[in-house]
Amino acid sequence: MEKATFGAGCFWGIEEKFRKTNGVISTRVGYSGGTLKNPTYEDMCSSETGHAEVVEIVYDPSIVSYEELLNNFWNIHDPTSLNRQGWDIGTQYRSVIFYHNEEQKKNALLAKQRLEKAGMYKKPIVTEIKPVSDFFIAEEYHQRYIEKNQRTR
């Protein structure tokens, strides 16, 4: 099993999409990339912790490749939107790939370069590609949020 960590706006929808990907074993939403230890959701909303809302993915590389996960990442958000996805505004909603090893770093950089060369976007891609930092799991009510809340409708 391997891990991948992505930030692409509000983690609820991102988690739901990755969770349904064949080969993904588990997902957890949380906070990464900032300076505050053990941030809460309220801390995150201040936009002062430096953290991004992220999904941490455990996947089976014999079923789904990191490259496939990267393709999903690029397709589920606007990587040209700086610190914003839809109605969600702030640095916590930035587009970011946190790589877990040098192979992931290489693949993320190559994927970003390919997209830029392909001219798919009119604006530059602003996605950050950084080494993974401490991951702080979000509060329980954020985990599998969309799945839990669809049941009550």
Catalytic residues, by residue number, are: 10
First-to-final CA distance of the chain: 35
Tell me how far apart the alpha carbons of residues 30 and 25 are, in angstroms, rounded to a whole number.
Answer: 17
Side-chain-side CA neighbours of residue 42 (13 Å): 0
Tell me how far apart the alpha carbons of residues 70 and 6 are, in angstroms, rounded to a whole number.
Answer: 9
